[in-house]
């Protein structure tokens, strides 16, 4: 078993990563100190976050993460700046309010993860979920945008899917699995 430190203050992300790593027999704790401001590239943001934690604890295995939601109807909004452009609470409602009935509801959720070893070497993995934004939030499970994203090939939102099915679609899960191979 390896213990990781995740460079995030986002409790939802940390809980999701805890569940993923537990399935591999690992554990993760959050980083309780300030992280640097984010830039314009998911991979660079994830790496800088991981390097900040590594500088504070050079013997730790560190996970850095950044993600963003791209809406086909508004390609210049959100994306790498999703967390800065949406409110901390009510994010799903804010996305739904952005979209007019005639807008394309196609969306891409991208997650980039960095695994930084105690040696300072690092790996990066990115995964994408192609989805449709639902008309209204649906489902009780999941985190983040799970209540409004309907994965391609599924008839319901991520939050309405059973956990075992939902996990197949989650880009953070897929990117982290790639890093742990």
What's the token pair of residue 155? Answer: 């008839």
Give the integer Cα–Cα distance in Å for 142 and 36.
27
Q: Is 66 a catalytic residue?
A: yes
Catalytic residue, chosen from 34, 40, 65, 66, is 66
By CB atoms closer than 10 A (0-12, 13-18, 19+), residue 143 is middle
Other Cβ atoms within 10 Å of 57 Cβ, number: 12
- CA 116 to chain CA centroid, Å, is 17
What's the token pair of residue 65? Answer: 């993460």
Give the integer Cα–Cα distance in Å for 179 and 11.
21
**Catalytic residue list:** 66
């Amino acid at each position: 078993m390896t213990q990781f430190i995740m460079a995030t203050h986002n409790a939802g992300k940390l809980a999701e990563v805890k569940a993923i790593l537990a399935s591999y027999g690992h554990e993760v704790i959050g980083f309780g100190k300030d992280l640097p401001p984010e830039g314009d590239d998911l991979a660079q943001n994830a790496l800088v976050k991981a390097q900040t934690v590594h500088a504070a604890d050079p013997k730790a295995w560190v996970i850095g993460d950044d993600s963003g939601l791209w809406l086909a109807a508004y390609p210049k909004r959100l994306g790498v700046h999703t967390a800065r452009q949406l409110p901390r609470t009510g994010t799903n409602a804010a996305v739904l309010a952005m979209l007019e009935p005639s807008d394309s509801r196609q969306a891409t959720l991208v997650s980039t993860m960095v695994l930084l070893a105690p040696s300072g070497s690092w790996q990066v993995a990115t995964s994408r979920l192609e989805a449709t934004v639902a008309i209204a939030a649906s489902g009780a499970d999941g985190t983040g945008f799970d209540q409004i994203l309907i994965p391609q090939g599924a008839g319901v939102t991520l939050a309405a899917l059973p956990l075992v099915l939902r996990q197949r679609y989650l880009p953070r899960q897929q990117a982290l699995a790639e890093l742990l191979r």
